[in-house]
Amino acid sequence: MPYDPPAWFGRTAPLVLEIGSGTGESTAALAAAEPWRDHIAVEVFEPGLARLLMRIAETGLTNLVLLRGDAVALLRERVPEASLDGMRIFFPDPWPKRRHHKRRLVQPAFVSLAASRLRPGCTLHLATDWADYADQMLAVLEAEPLLENTVDGFAQRPVWRPVTKFEARAQAEGRAVRDLIHRRRHAGHSSDHTS
């Protein structure tokens, strides 16, 4: 199937990509709350996609399309540069064991790829409840020349981001949730970093 959001949605609208939609609880809620935007959810977990398909059927959402597969390959091979109006990665697998940290999604090469797919002025929004992963994410995002932080450090949790069961459990277990919201720089906008 060719990558063709206008054909999928029957319109051209601002486009947001969510990587790792899980069971789609927040994905469906955000799509319902933002009918003026089209949403693509990418997930490898089939039962999660099935749950999200059921949510779409129950609510009649027409601005949400699901893709099963590897988000990195999708971004690299199919999503054009500067074509997304937002990207969301909420609670990616933290791979908590140190020897597995290299498997974490948010690494410099991935962030560079993701940033290149955003339109200037559009945001990459991440959230995690793992403190060391949050610190790693912040360091990687801050080092990416195409991105600038929308705040100093971590962002306040946006009121519009739904609290999922997963997030509520993390909070109940005492793990703070950290949001990171970085914006793609406009062309010609110099980096704050000096070389």
93 assigned to active site: yes
Residue 125 CA to residue 89 CA, distance in Å, equals 6
DSSP output for 107-144: -HHHHHHHHHHEEEEEEEEEEES-HHHHHHHHHHHHH-
Residue 156 CA to residue 183 CA, distance in Å, equals 15
Residue environment code for 94-111, b if the CB has 16+ CB neighbours within 10 A, otherwise e: beeeeeeeeebbbeeebb
Residue 30 CA to residue 155 CA, distance in Å, equals 19
Q: What is the CA radius of gyration of the chain?
A: 16
Task: Answer whether 64's CB lies under 8 Å from 72's CB.
Answer: no
Q: For residue 132, give every residue at least 6 positions away whose Cβ sits within 8 Å of its Cβ, in sequence order, or none.
A: none
- Of the residues 70, 85, 93, 132, which is catalytic? 93
> Which helix (H) or strand (E) covers residue 99, if one does?
none
> Which active-site residues does the annotation give?
93
